[in-house]
């Protein structure tokens, strides 16, 4: 029973950290990365659709992204969606592909990005703590109902805390690495 709670908690925390990692990939550090366009939504027949589901996005050079739509008729629509996004990159099109020249980041913009990354990291930590709180409540309820002893409940709560500490440390490592990437860019 306690093992089930721990396994379920670990799976939830892994999903939370993975979602945070994917979100961090969307923050550019002066280098072109196809992940930059993951959050750009295109109006595809009145349905918001991510660019990477409508086109091949590649980074042939460190400061260049190339978007090649599978349907050429979508080229102007994708171009407009990129212009409207908060990327701050102006697309250029030659009729078959869209090129995005990624400009180098200014020192001020780097600091803003680091602040944003730290804010997102705190949100991830809060989410992990919320998962911990839910697991502890379930363990306490199991102890109250006599499904486990008080000692087992206490030991399991300690395991939950160790698991939480491990995942928070993982978030901290991801933040540290991203901060280094942004500042050195």
68-113, pLDDT tens digit by residue? 999 888 888 888 888 888 777 888 888 888 998 887 778 888 888 8
Domains of the chain in sequence order: 2-25+106-184 (1.10.132.20), 34-101 (3.30.1360.40)
Give the DSSP letter string of 47-116.
EEEEGGGTEEEEEEETTEEEEEESSGGGHHHHHHHHHHSTT---EEE-SS-EEEE-PPPPHHHHHHHHHH
123-155, pLDDT tens digit by residue? 999 999 999 999 999 999 999 999 989 999 999
Residue 171: both structure tokens together = 């978030």
What pLDDT is stored for residue 161 in this prediction?
95
Q: What's the pLDDT band for 7 if we cut at 50, 70, 90? A: very high
Closest CA to 130 of 36, 26, 13, 11: 13
Closest CA to 178 of 64, 22, 52, 15: 22
Q: What's the pLDDT band for 165 if we cut at 50, 70, 90? A: very high
Is the pLDDT confidence value at 156 over 90?
yes
What pLDDT is stored for residue 123 in this prediction?
95
pTM of the entire structure? Answer: 0.70
Q: Determine the Cα–Cα distance for residues 54 and 82; give it in Å rounded to an integer.
A: 13
């Amino acid at each position: 029973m306690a093992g089930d709670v721990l396994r379920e908690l670990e799976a939830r925390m892994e999903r939370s950290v993975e979602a945070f990692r994917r979100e961090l990939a969307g923050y550019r550090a002066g280098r072109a990365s196809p992940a930059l366009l993951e959050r750009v939504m295109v109006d595809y027949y009145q349905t918001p659709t991510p660019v990477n589901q409508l086109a091949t996005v590649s980074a042939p050079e460190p400061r260049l992204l190339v978007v090649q739509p599978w349907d050429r008729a979508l080229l102007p629509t994708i171009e407009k969606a990129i212009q409207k996004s908060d990327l701050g990159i102006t697309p250029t099109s030659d009729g078959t592909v869209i090129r995005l020249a990624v400009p180098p980041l200014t020192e001020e913009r780097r600091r803003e990005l680091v602040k944003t990354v730290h804010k997102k990291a705190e949100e991830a930590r809060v989410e992990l703590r919320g998962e911990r709180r839910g697991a502890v409540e379930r363990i306490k309820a199991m102890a109250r109902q006599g499904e486990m002893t008080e000692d087992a409940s206490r030991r399991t709560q300690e395991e939950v805390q160790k698991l939480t500490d491990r995942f928070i440390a993982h978030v901290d490592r991801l933040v540290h690495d991203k901060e280094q990437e942004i500042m050195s860019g």
